[in-house]
Structure 1
Amino acid sequence: MRRLAVLVLAALFPLQGVNAATTAYHLDPAASTVAFETDFGPDLITGSIPLEKADLNLDFDNVANCTVEVALDVTGAKASFPFAAQALKGPKVLAAKDHPRMTFESTSVKRAGEAADVTGKLTIRGVTKTVTLRAQIFRPNGSATDDLAHLTVKLTGQVNRSDFGATGWSDMVGDQVRILITARIDAAG
């Protein structure tokens, strides 16, 4: 990662008075990614889906006030080999033509050791399910401890694609999809 040092949520909470209220952050889409992987027999299929937008409101004094909303452009999904990319966007998996957007909207955020658990509604193929993602916050190396203007948020988790009706090629491709969202964000000025 480009010059980043971990600044986990638990380390931010003691910063009383630094950000006494919820702060809105804007996404830097060019520096942000959504990566995934799933099993393909003994191998892996890896890929990415472009982040279309992310709205994050962070309250470093009260994590319960944090909110996360993310939208992905399913039509731009890529996979580690051409057939997988076509299949991924096709009607048996993500159905990109009928459902071009995937969304996640948080419903609760709770501290989890040196991270936070972000629970919310994930919508894929028009099907909405509750999922929990693990969040960590990073800041640039060399920045002051109280400088929270530029951050990177990593959200990790997993879903079963069959829960969303994405059952195509289940005899060859695993059901569990592992997710890594890296969102570079800047405090709204």
Structure 2
Amino acid sequence: MSRLTRRTLVLAGLASLPLVRHAVAAPVPYILETQGTLIEFTFGLAGSAQTGTMPIQTADVLVDTKNLRNSMVDVVLNVAEARTRLPFARGPMLSRSVLDAARFPSIHFVSTAVSLSPGGRISDGATVTGELTVRDETRPITLDATLYRPPGSAKDDLDRLFIHLTGALNRNDFGATGYADLVDETVGLNIRTEIRRKP
């Protein structure tokens, strides 16, 4: 049998094999559930710990359950609708010397990499690295992340998932330098989201 004939038979045999769909799995789009989502930030004001919230304007979430490293998040936050626990602190926060909401009405985060824990499970801890844009200044940021199913759900039921992200940034890196004598430069992030597989 010639080499060409053997090659033809091999190719014909490969073509007749059934497709293994999970081998070519791709990221699946998920919808952000606003009722189950909290974007919280923390900051020090005159030596006292304070908190605030900022709503999500748009969110694109892709989760590859076969290879979580391929997952991606692209989120836009609505700066103008940010709130603080102390109402009188909201005005200075949105002012020109801090977030300058009039000129920069949104904050944008897009992930660039997902790194899993040594065990390979994001539920055991992972990091999400991305680019954060505040006041038209873009800087890299890394957030600690966990991804998990609702309690009591089946192991293969991935229709609803919860994501928890934590981290911190230096507001001076983004030019939000106002009220330095009263407000700490470090801003903490505590993000809890619920996502649902897109129909």
Structure 1: unaligned runs, 5 residues or longer: 1-16
Q: How much does 1:168 deviate?
A: 0.7
C-alpha separation in 1, matches of 2:186 and 2:47: 14
Match of 1:65 among 62, 67, 70: 70
Q: Which residue of 1 aligns with 2:154?
A: 144
2:193 corresponds in structure 1 to 183
CA distance in 2, matches of 1:100, 1:166: 14
Count of paired positions? 173
1:77 paired residue among 79, 82, 88: 82
Displacement over 2 Å in runs of 4+ = none
Q: Secondary structure of the equivalent of 1:96?
A: coil
Once the two structures are TM-superposed, the CA of residue 182 in structure 1 deviates from its matched residue by 1.3
Q: Which residue in 2 is equivalent to 1:157?
A: 167
Q: Deviations over 1:54-102 (max 9, x none)?
A: 2111112222211111110000000111121111111111111111110
Q: Tell me how far apart the structure 1 counterparts of residues 149 and 101 of structure 2 sit (CA, whole Å).
A: 34
- 1:88 aligned residue (87, 90, 93): 93
* One-letter amino acid matched to 2:153: S
| Alignment TM-score, normalising by the size of structure 2 | 0.82
Matched residue type, 1:50? P
Q: How far 1:126 moved relative to its partner?
A: 0.8
SS in 2 for 1:163: helix
Kindly provide the amino acid, as one letter, of the partner of residue 174 in structure 2: F
Q: State the Cα distance separating 1:154 from its structure 2 match.
A: 1.1
Paired residue for 2:58? 53
Structure 2 counterpart of 1:12: none
How big is the shift at 1:20?
3.9
Greater helix share, 1 or 2? 2
- Measured on the aligned residues, the alpha-carbon RMSD in Å equals 1.7
Per-residue CA distance 1:31-51 (angstroms, 9 max, x = gap): 211101011233112100011
Which residue is 1:125 aligned to? 135
SS for the counterpart of 1:52 is strand
Cα deviation for residue 142 of structure 1 reads 1.6
* 3-state SS of paired residue (1:142): coil
Identity of aligned residues (%): 38
Higher strand fraction: Structure 1 or Structure 2?
1
Give how far 1:133 is off: 0.9
Counterpart residue type for residue 83 of structure 2:
K
- Asked whether the 8 Å contact 1:45–1:84 carries over to 2, the reply is no
Structure with the bigger RCO (C-alpha within 8 Å, sep 6+) is 1
